[in-house]
Homo-oligomer: A and B are copies of this chain.
Amino acid sequence: MASSNKTPTINDVARAAGVSKKTVSRVINRSALLKQDTRKKVEAVIAELGYVPNPQARALALRRNFLLGLLHDNPNAQTVLNFQEGVLDAIRDTEFALVVRPVDRHSPKMLEDIRHFLEQQRLYGVLILPPISENDELAALCREMGCGYVRMGSAPLDDEEHIVASNDREMVESAVDYLVESGHRRIGIIKGPEGFRSALERSEGFMAAMRKHGLAVPAELVAQGTYRFESGLDAAGQLLDREQRPTAIFCSNDEMAAGALHAARQRKVSVPADLSIIGFDDSPIAAHIWPPLTTVGWPIREMAKAAALKLVAPADERAQDYIFPARLVQRQSVAPPPDKF
């Protein structure tokens, strides 16, 4: 018989169905103007033969492929992976696939590397994770190359169709509200690294909230971190070694909060009895340290899904959102301040 063991092509389907390949093509692409009979017949043959359109050939003919890229230089593995899952949620049962591309934001050749990557792979579009999503040159590069892009950020730093953002600033404000309601007045902050928009948003949110409550933030209550565990350890150490130490510390991410917890333990400062700590991210570590960390969680997966939809189905109503509310996750690292304060 005619059927070989090779995978069937559109021609095989056309021949078996007794139609032209254009008709098959129309069926695949859901063209409106097709007789029901024809459609049914072709669909039956497709099912029978187990025909799957060749994406490479489609890509060639359509002059665009069906690959979404994920550009990231994110130190937080869980964030990246959750984002990947979210993108997959969006492109499941479509012909799109996700190709990942970790980059090195410290490399002077970063933009050049990415340019080469985009040229070579001719991606349908790219999703960009913080912190490199904050790089405006990168966004400009995408535009220049005609590559769709959506950035993920902690503030709306691009047009609606090019951004999914969390409301970090607001959320830090509610975190501070919560500390103040618990009775804290002397609240310290461990900032994230300079040059990170998220770090800026979080520290400005903190300052705004303190101002709102009429609370002072002297320099001795402010410490600089790098988002890494060790920096949290150091920075919290400084704060706790002040003559009058804070009764609560807001840490700009969970990893530093974990470091702060260590610093407290080393100094026999009990959390949350003597010191309250709030983190940011709701990463897995938050639930797995002691005491379980009260933190701010943001809906990465939903954001990723929306970001991918902005690229592959811009008209979809689920692709319209661009600000995603974070929420306070209350666990056990916050309590009222000790009596003496």
Contact = CB atoms under 8 A, between A and B. Distances in A.
A229 B284 CA distance: 10
B285 A229 contact: no
A303 to B, nearest CB: 17
Interface in A121-157: 121-122
Interface string A272-296: 0000000000001101111000000
A269 interface: no
Nearest to A51: B119
A32 interface: no
A220 interface: no
Contact of A85 (B67, B88, B102): B102
A2 interface: no
Interface string A52-65: 11111101100001
B102 A99 contact: no
A77 interface: yes
Nearest to A57: B60
A289 B289 contact: yes
Given A81-B77, A102-B88, A288-B258, A60 B56 contact: yes
Contact of A100 (B98, B229, B259, B287): B98
A138 to B, nearest CB: 18
A99 B70 CA distance: 10
A interface majority secondary structure: helix
A77 B290 CA distance: 21
B55 A120 contact: yes
Contacts of A194: none
A78 B255 CA distance: 14
A7 interface: yes
Nearest to A289: B289
B54 A122 contact: yes
B7 A119 contact: yes
A287 B97 CA distance: 35
Contacts of A333: none
Contacts of A99: 67, 97-100
Contacts of A84: 100, 102
A99 B91 CA distance: 13
Nearest to A52: B119
A199 interface: no
Contact of A78 (B77, B88, B290): B77
Nearest to A258: B288
Contacts of A95: 120
A328 interface: no
Given A98-B100, A102-B84, A261-B290, A122 B56 contact: yes
Contacts of A262: 288, 290
A15 interface: no
A306 interface: no
Interface of A: 7, 50, 52-57, 59-60, 65, 67, 77-78, 80-82, 84-85, 88, 95, 97-102, 116, 119-122, 229, 255, 258-259, 261-262, 265, 284-285, 287-290
13 contacts: A7-B119, A52-B119, A52-B120, A55-B120, A55-B122, A67-B97, A80-B81, A84-B100, A88-B100, A95-B120, A98-B100, A262-B288, A284-B285
